[in-house]
Structure 1
Amino acid sequence: MTYYAKTKKEYEQLTPGLKKVAEVLLHNPILFATHPAKQIAQVLDVSETMVVRFSKAIGYDGFGSLQDDVQRSLLTIGPPEEETADKHPFSVVMESDSKNIIQIADSLEWDVAEKIVECLVAADTIKVVGYYQSFAYAHWFTVLLNTLLGNTALYRPETDIGITKQGNNHCVVIFSYYRYALGTIRLAEEARQNGNEVILITDSLSSPVVEYGDHTLVIPIAQKSVLEKGPVTFSVLNSLLLHIAQRIGKLDLINPTNNYYIK
């Protein structure tokens, strides 16, 4: 069993601190393959003992044997990377985004995504929440989802006074990324108290909103850069929207032409 399979198997039994180490290993194994335990601990802001304890918690004798397994798993024989010296810097950034999307696509829990699609299609109303940087994701998703379903509204913190609808026939979609806005967490708790169906899109199972979700889709981006999260998040949302459109037989509405001068 690989380090990845061992970590996934033991994840639910880990303490919150050990889960923090587990998530970084799952989504940034190169860090574990190339750095000693002490340096990894400094990067994660945990103790070196925590890294060693994590190694033993998932079935290794210590950090050394875990690192050996990670290194073996990452060893591949393939063509060398193309030189980037002749490429425009804009192109290099876009290629990096593409690689992030492909990497995340291989690790997302698509069974959760399927449940989210079913929940959204069945909902009487949908409220989409996103604060600060996440507002862009929430706004874009709201516009297109409402085009498909006609029952979706964006939560506006400057005018709305909380989540008011009661019952699980009303769905609340919440985007919550590091550093996790307090307003988002309060709305997630309120939606849970109302008995709403709560969908969470976040970057970590350690996110403080996770306890309030019925369906949690984790987009595991190791780096905390907003610029790296954007392309991956929009790609995931695009996948959800296309599956919803397919489910309800409205693929043509994803790109409507009746509102534009050029058709």
Structure 2
Amino acid sequence: MTKIIQVKPPRVFSELKPWLQDHYQDLPKRLQSVAVFAMHNPDVIALNTIASISDQVSVTPSTMVRFAKSIGYQGFSDMQAVFQESMRHVPQPYSERLNSMQRSAGREQTVLSQFTQAAAESITRLEQKVDESALLKASEQLAQARMVYIAGQGRAEPVVAYLHYTLVKLGVQSVVLSGMPHSMADKARMLQTDDVLLAISFSPYTANTRELVDICLLNKAKVVALTDSTLSPIARADDFHLEVLEDEVSGFRGLSATMCLALCLAVETGRVRAELDKKLNT
């Protein structure tokens, strides 16, 4: 019998992803796969019939109903209404985000206070929830690598640049995977089993970074992923992944906690690498 999560689920889609992440491990394996599909394809859940969705997830319609009830909704339609709500809140153009921030800043807080508060809350969450054993394991994988290849696009690009700079300064050989998507894919296929791909991607997740992770895992090259959710498409059971979630301000997401985690990862990698080099030289 499927265990039903007793805590009342969110009625706002933007709150559903972190909430579901917290309860993900309470779900049976079959329903975990439904949760992953739902988070990666909210438009499919919002706009299609239960029969059509079930076919795409490769489960029965009754499984979709069971999933909805297991996470606390009255049924599939009740859950679908939350996903439909998400369609009314598609990402705003940056000009609208700026206008929204200026309105709220004028009424309540300054722009500086909004961003510093979001940064502080994000870093506090990181300190409370980061899995330090996972951080150490990821650092060990990077330290033992012949070469670390770093990939990420969009909002992840500053993190890629910072990690590359810091790792090189710490004596860890690393390069940035860049170029056209097909070129990056070709480079990923050349990674050897003693290389590591350090992949960075955040919601809504870039297809190219996901493809690079798929290629490397298929070819038995190790992957360390830095992302924002257990349900992220680059967070797999067969890789090493770290999670960090940033608070938003009028649709703007900073990188305060992300950069903090990236620095910790790089420093831990440098420390482990130094220990390995010391053992080799004694």
Q: TM-score range by the shorter chain?
A: 0.5 to 0.7
How far off its partner does 1:52 sit?
A: 9.0
Contact 1:121 1:149 in 2 (8 A): no
CA spacing shift, 1:148–1:12, aligned 2, 3 Å: farther
Contact 2:156 2:201 in 1 (8 A): yes
Q: Distance in 1 between matches of 2:219 and 2:22?
A: 37
| Alignment equivalent of 2:218, drawn from 193, 197, 207 | 193
Q: Distance in 2 between matches of 1:110 and 1:8?
A: 20
In structure 2, what is the equivalent of residue 144 of structure 1?
166
Q: Distance in 2 between matches of 1:225 and 1:201?
A: 24
Backbone CA RMSD of aligned residues: 4.0
How far off its partner does 1:62 sit?
A: 6.9
| Alignment equivalent of 1:155, drawn from 177, 188, 207 | 177
Q: Distance in 2 between matches of 1:162 and 1:249?
A: 28
Aligned residue type for 1:95: Q
The Cα offsets for residues 75-105 of structure 1, whole Å up to 9 and x where unpaired, read as: xxxxxxxxxx997531342122111110132
Determine helix, strand or coil for the equivalent of 1:133: helix
In structure 1, what is the equivalent of residue 272 of structure 2?
247
Determine helix, strand or coil for the equivalent of 1:201: strand
Bigger relative contact order (CA 8 A; separation at least 6): 2
Q: Distance in 1 between matches of 2:225 and 2:47?
A: 27
Q: TM-score, normalised by structure 1?
A: 0.63
Which moves more between the two structures, 101-110 or 226-235? 226-235
Structure 2 unaligned spans of 5+: 8-18, 51-62, 76-106, 276-282
Sequence identity percentage: 15
Aligned length: 210
In structure 2, what is the equivalent of residue 106 of structure 1?
128
Contact 2:118 2:248 in 1 (8 A): no
How far off its partner does 1:173 sit?
A: 0.6
Determine helix, strand or coil for the equivalent of 2:199: strand
Aligned residue type for 2:228: D
Listed as ranges, the matches of 1:39-50 within 5 Å are none
Q: Distance in 1 between matches of 2:108 and 2:228?
A: 34
Listed as ranges, the matches of 1:1-263 within 5 Å are 7=23, 9-11=25-27, 13=29, 14-18=31-35, 57=70, 88-158=110-180, 160=184, 161-211=186-236, 213-221=238-246, 227-249=252-274
Structure 1 unaligned spans of 5+: 23-40, 64-84, 251-263
Contact 1:16 1:206 in 2 (8 A): no
Q: Distance in 2 between matches of 1:2 and 1:94?
A: 35
The Cα offsets for residues 208-233 of structure 1, whole Å up to 9 and x where unpaired, read as: 23348511212244759874341121
CA spacing shift, 1:20–1:91, aligned 2, 3 Å: farther
